[in-house]
Amino acid sequence: MKVRFLCALSAIAALAGCTSVSGERNSAIPMFATDPFSAQSADGFVAENDIFHRLPVKAIATVRLEKATEASADFVGRHVAEGTILFQAVGSEGRMFCASSNTDAESPPQYDRLIRVFACFQDTDEDARFDRVFTADGMSTAFPVLAQYRTAWEVLPNPVPYRAAPDNPYPAEITMQFVLRRSVPDKNVVLVGQEIGRPGEFETIEYERYALDGNGEFEMFGGKFRVTGQTEKGAVVETVHPVPARPVLLDYTPARTFHVPG
């Protein structure tokens, strides 16, 4: 199962490697994907505001920094430790790899909080050494979302070596979950919240109303679910097809709500 998931991520990563996110906003969008082979589904009755399906969200690609380095952010030095695992992101200037940074040069790699200053590195000549970097504020504790406005690219006087780290996933524990917000049996409708986050810190991506078809089924984020019984306090929800491996490319709108860039 893990091999099939990695193959799915490889296909997504190949697409990402030749894709640029264009537009007026100057942003870098972290590239993560759902892992359907570690999904968990509720068995039986689901009360309102309970979770009926959840699955991990993992970085599409990671690299390991082989040497500590420093970047600037508002005239303050930001340090990234040797051994830090960076996740892939994509922006108007192509692919890059990002991680949380620190003001203390002696700090170990940091993954505990996502509202930090991120450092994003790029290897412009593809020689396995990063040669430029920019910094951007983190915008969410739930998911590594980067601020739309950031510092300019800074050329690294001493390029920093890195290596691919397929066996080292980004260490933050990120989960996508689907919550039954309301059951409306007289209209054959369920209202579902789609959330993403870390233990104790989740944010809503979408909140949708789903009308059940003749089989009591509805589709959501590529998955299919069947409702076999409803009351005003909840529903019996079965997973027909779990959410597949899909890109999770989250950004913030100017109103600070999540959206998935097209």
Kindly state the DSSP code that residue 18 receives in the 8-state scheme.
T
Residue 81 falls inside a structural domain? yes
Residue 94 in tokens? 């192509």
| Cα 116 to Cα 102, 113, 185, 192, distances in angstroms | 8, 7, 44, 31
Is 168 inside any structural domain? no
- Residue 2: the pLDDT is 38
Give the number of domains in the chain: 2
- Report pLDDT for 6: 40
Please tell me what DSSP assigns to residue 185: G
Element (H, E) at 6: helix 2-17
pLDDT along the chain (262 residues), means of 10: 40 43 57 92 93 94 95 78 94 90 84 79 96 88 79 91 92 92 95 91 89 94 94 94 88 58 46
- The whole-angstrom separation of Cα 189 and Cα 167 is 42
Instruction: State which residues form the domain around 141.
Output: 61-163
pTM of the full structure: 0.81
Residue 139 CB partners (closer than 8 Å, separation 6+): 115, 145, 146, 147, 252, 256
Using CA atoms, how far residue 241 sits from 39, 58, 67, 152, 219, in Å, is 11, 20, 44, 44, 9
Answer yes or no: do 144 and 222 share one domain.
no
Same-domain pairing of 179 and 155: no
Whether 153 and 67 map to the same domain: the answer is yes
Query: Distance between alpha carbon 204 and the CA centroid of its chain, in Å?
Result: 13
65 and 159 both lie in a single domain: yes
Instruction: List, for residues 207-231, the tens digit of each pLDDT value.
Output: 899 999 999 999 998 999 999 999 9
Nearest of 87, 81, 93, 25 to residue 59 by alpha carbon: 87
Q: Which helix (H) or strand (E) holds 14?
A: helix 2-17
Asked if the structure places residue 200 within a domain, the reply is: yes
260 domain-assigned:
no
Cα 219-223-225 angle, rounded to 5 deg: 60
Residue 18, in any domain of the structure: no
- Give yes or no: residues 93 and 223 share one domain: no
Residues 6+ apart with CB under 8 A from 189: 209, 210, 211, 212
Whether residue 262 is contained in a domain is answered as no
Task: Assess whether 156 and 226 both reside in one domain.
Answer: no
192 and 232 in a single domain? The answer is yes
What pLDDT shows up at residue 236? Answer: 96
- Residues 119 and 114: their CA atoms lie apart, in Å, by 12
Residue 36 DSSP SS3: helix
CB atoms within 10 A of CB 43: 11
